[in-house]
């Protein structure tokens, strides 16, 4: 029977080698709380190699994502410096197992979040916003997992790209969001798909910060979660995420 540290090392090893592993929950039962411990331990492996925490991501904040993956609870994971790809850059598919792209909205924190905050407090905490691409790459075979499995696996996060930061508008509702592969629209929905209001992702992140006794420091990036289902990336694809009124995020896979 593997302990939490062993599971963390196994998942970290799968990410480093870009080789998938069996779903952990098929052989070991563990709780949601234990899953977050495993996530923290596996991220500590990365930090010990010189990588750094730069922010957090929420997952399953839209029905489209919940339905696609069969998981119906909001989750959160950690983003690191090595996951951050320069907007407009090229990256090699070989560092991933079976990457999928999703269109998101990102926020930049201007003040530490260490307690639950309400919608009316958001301008005090958020510096700016932008369009984003998240590249998810489950370390599990066939992208199959339970809620606990995916939390332990840092919520499938593997890379992200940010468009240009811009001032936070009063509302982020009713904005058309698209995911494009080489100018072909692969997915499209309204920003309302994210929690009915993408700004609520900030309140939800603050609730999680309070629940897990975490501080999300000023300067952190927050990914609000995908508005649409994720799409497998193929070689030779320029992936673009657009949010109406914002500059796009793009990355090319070789």
Give the footprint of ligand OOG on this chain (CB under 6 A). Answer: 57, 59-60, 65, 69, 102, 134, 136, 138, 150, 155-156, 225-226
Query: To the nearest whole angstrom, how small is the minimum distance from the Cβ of residue 87 to ligand OOG?
Result: 19
Please answer whether residues 112 and 190 qualify as being in contact, where contact means their C-beta atoms are separated by less than 8 angstroms. no
Which is nearer to ligand OOG, 2 or 66 (by Cβ)?
Answer: 66
Query: To the nearest whole angstrom, how small is the minimum distance from the Cβ of residue 213 to ligand OOG?
Result: 23
Dihedral angle at the C-alpha atoms of 184, 189, 194, 200, nearest 10 degrees? 110
How far is Cα 242 from Cα 103, in angstroms, rounded to an integer?
A: 7
DSSP type of residue 169 = P
Angle between helices 32-48 and 4-17 (to 10 degrees): 50
Which is nearer to ligand OOG, 7 or 105 (by Cβ)?
Answer: 105
Which is nearer to ligand OOG, 30 or 140 (by Cβ)?
Answer: 140
Query: To the nearest whole angstrom, how small is the minimum distance from the Cβ of residue 249 to Mg ion?
Result: 13
Which is nearer to Mg ion, 21 or 226 (by Cβ)?
Answer: 226
Which residues contribute to the site for Mg ion (CB under 5 A)? Answer: 134, 226
Query: To the nearest whole angstrom, how small is the minimum distance from the Cβ of residue 223 to ligand OOG?
Result: 7
Query: To the nearest whole angstrom, how small is the minimum distance from the Cβ of residue 65 to Mg ion?
Result: 7
Question: Measured in Å, how far apart are the chain's first and last C-alpha atoms?
Answer: 40
Which is nearer to ligand OOG, 97 or 126 (by Cβ)?
Answer: 97
The entry of Mg ion, ligand OOG, none near residue 69 (CB within 5 to 8 angstroms by kind) is: ligand OOG
Helices and strands (H and E) in the chain: how many: 6, 14
How far is Cα 209 from Cα 49, in angstroms, rounded to an integer?
A: 25
The residue with its CB nearest to Mg ion is 134
Identify the sign of the CA torsion 96, 42, 146, 200: negative
């Amino acid at each position: 029977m593997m302990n939490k540290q062993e599971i963390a090392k196994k998942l970290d090893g799968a990410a480093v080698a870009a080789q998938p592993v069996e779903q952990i929950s098929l052989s070991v039962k563990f709780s949601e709380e234990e899953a977050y411990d495993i996530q923290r331990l596996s991220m500590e492996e990365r930090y010990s190699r010189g990588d750094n925490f730069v922010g957090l991501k929420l997952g399953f904040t839209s029905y489209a994502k919940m339905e696609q993956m069969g998981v119906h609870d909001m989750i959160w994971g950690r983003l690191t410096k090595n996951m951050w790809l320069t907007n407009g850059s090229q990256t090699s598919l070989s560092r991933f197992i079976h990457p999928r792209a999703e269109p998101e909205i990102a926020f930049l924190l201007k003040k530490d979040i260490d307690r639950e905050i309400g919608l009316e407090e958001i301008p005090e905490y958020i510096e700016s916003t932008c369009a984003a691409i998240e590249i998810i790459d489950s370390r599990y075979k066939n992208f199959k997992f339970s809620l606990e499995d995916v939390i332990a696996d840092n919520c499938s996060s593997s890379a992200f790209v940010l468009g240009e930061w811009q001032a936070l508008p009063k509302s982020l509702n009713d904005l058309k969001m698209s995911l494009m592969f080489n100018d072909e629209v692969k997915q499209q929905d309204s920003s309302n798909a994210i929690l009915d209001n993408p700004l609520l992702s900030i309140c939800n992140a603050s609730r999680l910060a309070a629940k897990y006794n975490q501080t999300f420091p000023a300067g952190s990036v927050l990914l609000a979660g995908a508005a649409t289902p994720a799409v497998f990336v193929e070689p030779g694809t320029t992936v673009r995420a657009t949010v109406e009124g914002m500059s796009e995020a793009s990355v090319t896979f070789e």
